[in-house]
A and B are shown apart, each in its own frame.
Chain A
């Protein structure tokens, strides 16, 4: 598959003194406090930490669906603060894929149509869309289930469709917020293995959050958050 145009940079994500503060009932709640980190391209990165540590907030910022209160974020070489809402949306359409904890498939669309959806936003031809969609469904082992609606699929199958949807546009970065949280351990392990496999095949940067320590062994790099602060960074030895 052809990689979509991307900025030439060795970093998938650069975080510089990123802060995120929420105002609740007149009080400020600090979700992230001065996160500075670089995530190289083509890595399988996990963000771990207990509930409330800021994992999801950090993923939202990296995924360009939220903006930091302070600091700057670069994704695939693009400074997020410089982009308007539409430009940021278009950037997400090109460069960022999402895998959600609750799968978030469109219930009225079939597995095929769910995977095809991001390609429509990129304006690809019908033939290009069909070829890419079927190839992606085949890769996640769901070519036979292409016509099924989400309610006709198991949890594991839904998450495979979600992974296919995230990867079908060949994004620079795929973000997954606790992708195994709603799966049993067998399916969870299978999904992680699948994500690892396609990440290697597509040489895409994967960043996902989890609080399951058993999954950390799969990561190239692990960032540990606690109370909104980066308290640990572990890089696995190259295999």
Chain B
């Protein structure tokens, strides 16, 4: 009877109830759509980050904090033993998709045939491993950069450069990059530095022979001992980077070539060992296991995860979480005022009925329960309808083929609103709206419950 009474009272003033439930539904729709959109951004950023850096990286202790100024000096001696140790570990093996060494380096990239040079930031990777990493897509996101890295295990002199660097070094037309500037008049005299580098490059050519017929660049870097070293690298592919500063300096090369540049004829080392897991949820377990292994063998190594390596990831999540919270608070305030107003009007209109029910023998708690139940029914109808409508709208958006450029990415992606596996968020939205509805109804319900019976009965 209590439920029947509540339901009929809601239907009593249909327009007002529809407005209240509608406000709740709009709040639910907004949060379902925006929550799904944020989820797609977060998963997209995570996918992009994990494809580049893996989930975990093993460094020599202190490199992460101090080593970026001279990465060559922080190389891991005996890194192959550590690779074997990690790959054969019975706990880590089933969790990991890729365990691969990498080096990072920087120096000067030049196309000395046109006297063009630019500082570069480079990485040396194992092509096959990198290609596997770039295919990591456990969330089934549609990305167009899941193609190979452009490197080849069998061709160590082939590398990849950012489109900005390729333009700067004069390969715009050669590599068909588009929007190429008109040819600039060449200066005949080389600067003394460029001449030195060109001579050094020429002296090293016998070791890193890149055919002159292919577009290639010369890379100058300091070795671990501080001596300058130069190699030639064929531009096998151009990969546009999402951030211009990176695009103008990006070089990705074969691990062996990078080692040759960084260590010359000395002992070859790796700067980091990257672990890409099958699932991000395994990260804590994998990290704990790695830490145990390092501690048990007393190795001078440390482990960092991708959120530490790429702080932008956490910043993006924090920013979108704050925006979502802001929207949720606004929606909650709207629901509070709408439902609060509806319930207050209802209490005022039904004052005599409240007095009658109290006179007949309904306790104050019964009156309170009556109005809260009405608010809950309104909230449940609004929230359920809103979530269902939000899911339907998300399906429409996902089918509409809308395109946008996500943060930190170089190529447009489909605009997606994730609705699968979002049950927890939808439940949280539903419960949040019910909580807001309850909060809105508490004051009117208490006011109704506290009405003196005689005064309520006198109300016209």
Task: Give chain A's interface residues, CB within 8 Å of chain B.
Answer: 60, 63, 65-66, 85-86, 89-90, 92-94, 98, 100, 102, 104, 106-109, 113, 116-118, 120-122, 165
Partner of B364, one of A60, A85, A106, A122: A85
Q: When A98-B360, A104-B352, A104-B353 are in contact, do A109 and B5 touch as well, CB less than 8 Å? A: yes
Interface CB pairs A-B, < 8 A, 14: A65-B457, A89-B358, A89-B364, A90-B361, A104-B355, A104-B356, A106-B5, A106-B357, A107-B353, A108-B5, A108-B8, A108-B9, A118-B360, A121-B360
Quick check: is B453 within 8 A (CB to CB) of the other chain?
yes
Chain B contact surface mostly: helix
Q: What 8 pairs across the A-B complex have the smallest Cβ distances?
A: A93-B361, A108-B8, A65-B453, A104-B356, A121-B361, A92-B361, A89-B363, A66-B454
> Which residues of chain B have C-beta atoms less than 8 A from A86's C-beta?
363-365
CB distance from A22 to the nearest CB of B (A): 10
Quick check: is B362 within 8 A (CB to CB) of the other chain?
yes
Beta-carbon contacts under 8 Å, B329-366 to A: 352-353, 355-366
Cβ-defined contact, A60 with B454, below 8 A: yes
> Which residues of chain B have C-beta atoms less than 8 A from A108's C-beta?
5, 8-9, 11-12
Quick check: is B147 within 8 A (CB to CB) of the other chain?
no
Q: When A89-B362, A98-B359, A104-B356 are in contact, do A120 and B1 touch as well, CB less than 8 Å? A: yes
Cβ-defined contact, A106 with B356, below 8 A: yes
Complexed CA–CA distance, A166 and B8 (Å) = 23
> Which residues of chain B have C-beta atoms less than 8 A from A100's C-beta?
356, 457
Cβ-defined contact, B12 with A117, below 8 A: no
> Which residues of chain B have C-beta atoms less than 8 A from A102's C-beta?
352
Partner of B454, one of A65, A107, A165: A65
Cβ-defined contact, B363 with A109, below 8 A: no
Complexed CA–CA distance, A199 and B262 (Å) = 109
Cβ-defined contact, B5 with A92, below 8 A: no
Interface string of B446-459 (1 = CB under 8 A from A): 00000011100100
> Which residues of chain A have C-beta atoms less than 8 A from B364's C-beta?
85-86, 89
Cβ-defined contact, A92 with B1, below 8 A: no
Could you list 13 further interchain pairs (A-B, Cβ under 8 angstroms) beyond the known A92-B360, A106-B357? A65-B453, A65-B454, A86-B364, A89-B361, A89-B362, A89-B363, A93-B360, A94-B361, A104-B355, A107-B353, A120-B1, A121-B361, A121-B366
> Which residues of chain B have C-beta atoms less than 8 A from A65's C-beta?
358-359, 453-454, 457
Q: Chain A residue with minimal CB distance to B10?
A: A108
Complexed CA–CA distance, A106 and B357 (Å) = 9
> Which residues of chain B have C-beta atoms less than 8 A from A93's C-beta?
360-362
Cβ-defined contact, A117 with B358, below 8 A: no
Complexed CA–CA distance, A25 and B4 (Å) = 42
Task: Give chain B's interface residues, CB within 8 Å of chain A.
Answer: 1, 4-5, 8-9, 11-12, 352-353, 355-366, 452-454, 457
CB distance from B359 to the nearest CB of A (A): 5
> Which residues of chain A have C-beta atoms less than 8 A from B4's C-beta?
109, 113
Q: When A65-B453, A65-B454, A66-B453 are in contact, do A106 and B359 touch as well, CB less than 8 Å? A: no
> Which residues of chain A have C-beta atoms less than 8 A from B363's C-beta?
85-86, 89-90
> Which residues of chain B have C-beta atoms less than 8 A from A116's C-beta?
1
> Which residues of chain A have C-beta atoms less than 8 A from B362's C-beta?
89, 93, 121
Complexed CA–CA distance, A128 and B359 (Å) = 22
Cβ-defined contact, B1 with A113, below 8 A: yes
Q: Chain B residue with minimal CB distance to A149?
A: B8
> Which residues of chain B have C-beta atoms less than 8 A from A118's C-beta?
360-361
Complexed CA–CA distance, A113 and B366 (Å) = 17
Complexed CA–CA distance, A220 and B11 (Å) = 46
Complexed CA–CA distance, A235 and B303 (Å) = 100
> Which residues of chain A have C-beta atoms less than 8 A from B360's C-beta?
92-93, 98, 117-118, 121, 165
> Which residues of chain A have C-beta atoms less than 8 A from B361's C-beta?
89-90, 92-94, 118, 121-122
Complexed CA–CA distance, A104 and B352 (Å) = 7
CB distance from A146 to the nearest CB of B (A): 15
Cβ-defined contact, A92 with B9, below 8 A: no
Complexed CA–CA distance, A100 and B356 (Å) = 9
Complexed CA–CA distance, A104 and B356 (Å) = 7
Complexed CA–CA distance, A165 and B8 (Å) = 20
Complexed CA–CA distance, A118 and B356 (Å) = 11
> Which residues of chain A have C-beta atoms less than 8 A from B365's C-beta?
86
Complexed CA–CA distance, A212 and B1 (Å) = 38
Complexed CA–CA distance, A121 and B12 (Å) = 23
Complexed CA–CA distance, A86 and B457 (Å) = 18
> Which residues of chain A have C-beta atoms less than 8 A from B355's C-beta?
104
Complexed CA–CA distance, A104 and B357 (Å) = 9
Q: Chain B residue with minimal CB distance to A109?
A: B5
> Which residues of chain A have C-beta atoms less than 8 A from B11's C-beta?
108
Cβ-defined contact, A63 with B359, below 8 A: yes
Q: Chain B residue with minimal CB distance to A129?
A: B1
Complexed CA–CA distance, A122 and B362 (Å) = 10
Complexed CA–CA distance, A65 and B360 (Å) = 10
Complexed CA–CA distance, A63 and B453 (Å) = 11
Complexed CA–CA distance, A85 and B366 (Å) = 13
> Which residues of chain A have C-beta atoms less than 8 A from B352's C-beta?
102, 104
CB distance from B364 to the nearest CB of A (A): 7
Complexed CA–CA distance, A102 and B456 (Å) = 13
Partner of A106, one of B353, B358, B454, B457: B353
Complexed CA–CA distance, A158 and B172 (Å) = 92
Complexed CA–CA distance, A148 and B112 (Å) = 98
Q: Chain A residue with minimal CB distance to B365?
A: A86
Complexed CA–CA distance, A89 and B366 (Å) = 11
> Which residues of chain A have C-beta atoms less than 8 A from B358's C-beta?
65, 89
CB distance from A126 to the nearest CB of B (A): 10
